[in-house]
Structure 1
Amino acid sequence: MEIKMPRKTPRVADLVMQELEAMMLDGQLKAGEKLPPERALAERFQVSRPSIREAIQKLVAKGLVDSRQGGGNYICQNMSASFSDPLHALLEGHPEARQDLLEYRTTIEGACAWYAALRADEHDLTRLAECFTALRLAHEKDDRQDEAGADVQFHLAIAEASHNVVFYQMMKGLCAVLERSLLLNISGLYQRQDTRSRIFEQHKAIYEAICAAKPEAAKLASEQHLGFVGISLIEMQREQNRLARALLP
């Protein structure tokens, strides 16, 4: 005879912890951001303040929240550091690895753009508009560092608009790597005005396709953009190699 064990009822603190983790995953709570006060969280989740306190303690134990004496509770800044740090050294020492990064981005970001065009809500479209405006202004000012940062935020906003927490978290983890990679790439690619202008127009095509809710067009525009960057980088490397050989005694 099978003996059925009674089902264990989840603790309130565990349920609150799971809700807070979900908010971190989908970007409602961002790295470095201060958690709302216990009272506000208790009202939001309709639970007691001791349950909120216990949930936060569990998040601290998991390394997701940093509790500062007298200063409140903050989402940890370094949640993605272990993922991105090894890639910094790889990209710095091996320029060919940048092509591997672009292959990865082409696959993932094409899907992000497709889902963003399908699922973006009013908040997402507002965020995308802000990011595209920042990208356009940096492009017009010819500020390469600002343009690299705005480029990363634009692509991250697309991942967020996909409403896929895995895509978003993977892109967020790559942000520091992407910005460094873009700075390395832009310094060479943007020497030619025609290349620089084409890259901006490609970003514009992705943005407009998402705003128009055209998934296939958004995916295609994203893939074409990253494909163009990949080909341009190969050509740039060949030119650098030719110049290096010409300077040999």
Structure 2
Amino acid sequence: MALHPVSRVKLSTQIENQLKDQILTGKWKPGERLPSENELAEIFQVSRVSIRQALQALSAQGLIETRIGDGSFISQPSIGTFMQDVIPDVYLADDSLRAVLEFRRVFEGPVAELAATRATDEQISQLAVLYHQMWEHADDADKNSYYDLSFHMLIGEMTGNPMITGVYRILNNVLRSSWHRVTASKGPKMGFYYHERLLNAFRQRNAKLCREIMEEHVANSWFLFFGDGEQANSAPADAPKA
């Protein structure tokens, strides 16, 4: 592949990086108001367009909050904030998808176990709502896969750990298009089977059982995509029929 000359970094990116440094090093505190666009344009000796682009980038990262007519203010950042844009929402090649599903097999079982010890009654009720929404949209692969992934996202949130929530956000983003594919090709029965079992285990507050079911569930997802010599293409005989 031929090499090409590199282009200069955009002005707005340079401004974004300097402002981000001020925020992350604590020189600007949460709640503090940033200088106005005009003031920043004067400081950096650039147009307001470059300033506005930099501020929009910081806002998208959750580092600042812009209030119409009042200016931009430093947000209270969290671990989840920094993780949310690590991986873009893109279609995954099989090699990348293999890595993500392999990670799920290591990650999601212990998360389910922890979530069972910390979940509120309200969160478990919401988990039931998502399960029933999966049923309501059994014939719509887009919506069914959306509620399927939302079910897992909520389990991450149940832990109360912002880093775990950030990881689930990444997983949801990278799996969205692929999950539509598997739902469309394999149908939703397997999701109903495992999600019903998980919901019942969470209602019982049985942390060990939640982990066991989740580990079986994500292993099954792996085999649905890759096989690897084990069969998991059909739901168990006692799985609910969509």
Which range, TM-score by smaller chain? 0.5 to 0.7
* Correspondence 1:40-79 to 2 at 5 A: 52=31, 54=32, 57=34, 64-70=63-69
Q: Give the Cα–Cα distance (whole angstroms) in 2 for the partners of residues 73 and 215 of structure 1.
A: 44
CA shift, 1:82, in A, is 3.5
Q: Which amino acid aligns with 2:113?
A: W
- Would you say 1:143 and 2:140 are equivalent positions? yes
- Which of the residues 82, 87, 101 maps onto 1:84? 87
TM-superposed CA distance for 1:98, in Å, is: 1.8
8 Å contact from structure 1 (residues 131, 157) kept in 2: no
Q: Give the equivalent residue in structure 1 for 2:209.
A: 217
Equivalent in the alignment of 1:198: 190
| Cα distance in 2, alignment partners of residues 227 and 198 from structure 1 | 12
Match of 2:133 in 1: 134
Q: Partners in 2 of 1:63 and 1:157 — Cα distance? A: 21
Sequence identity, in percent? 21
- Deviations along 1:85-109, one digit per CA (max 9) or x if unpaired, are 1x725x1xx2233222111112221
State the distance in 2 between where 1:66 and 1:209 align: 40
C-alpha change, 1:215 and 1:66, in structure 2 (3 Å) is same
Q: Secondary structure at the match of 1:163?
A: coil
Paired residues, what number?
177
For 2:183, the equivalent position in structure 1 comes to: 186
**What is the root-mean-square deviation of aligned Cα atoms in Å?**
3.5
* Structure 1 residue ranges, 4+ long, deviating more than 4 angstroms after superposition: 56-63, 71-76, 78-81
Counterpart selection for 1:231 from 198, 223, 227: 223
Cα distance change of structure 1 residues 217 and 57 upon mapping to structure 2, 3 Å threshold: farther
Deviation, 1:136, is 2.2
- CA 1:222 to 1:66, structure 2 compared with 1: closer, same or farther past 3 Å? same
- In structure 2, relative to structure 1, the CA distance for the partners of 1:65 and 1:127 (3 Å cut) is farther
How far off its partner does 1:235 sit?
Answer: 4.0
User: Does structure 1 retain, via aligned residues, the 8 Å contact 2:148–2:191?
Assistant: no
Which structure has the highest helix share of the two?
Answer: 1
Q: Which runs of 5+ in 2 are unaligned?
A: 1-25, 36-54, 229-242
Q: CA deviation at 1:135?
A: 1.7
Q: C-alpha separation between the residues in 2 aligned to 1:186 and 1:123?
A: 28
Contact 2:133–2:147 (CA under 8 A) maintained in structure 1 = yes
Relative distance call for 1:151 and 1:57 in structure 2 (3 A) is: farther
For residue 153 of structure 1, report the CA deviation from its aligned partner: 0.7
TM-score normalized with structure 1 length: 0.60
Deviation at 1:179, TM superposition (A): 1.5
Change (3 A) 1:71 1:224: farther
The 3 A distance-change label for structure 1 pair 73 and 109 is farther
Structure 2 match to 1:35:
none
Partners of 1:68 and 1:154 in 2: how far apart?
33
Q: Name structure 1 gaps, 5 residues minimum.
A: 1-10, 18-51, 191-195, 237-249
SS at match of 1:220: helix
In structure 2, the CA distance between the partners of 1:73 and 1:130, relative to structure 1 (3 Å rule), is farther
Cα distance in 2 between the residues matched to 1:81 and 1:169: 6
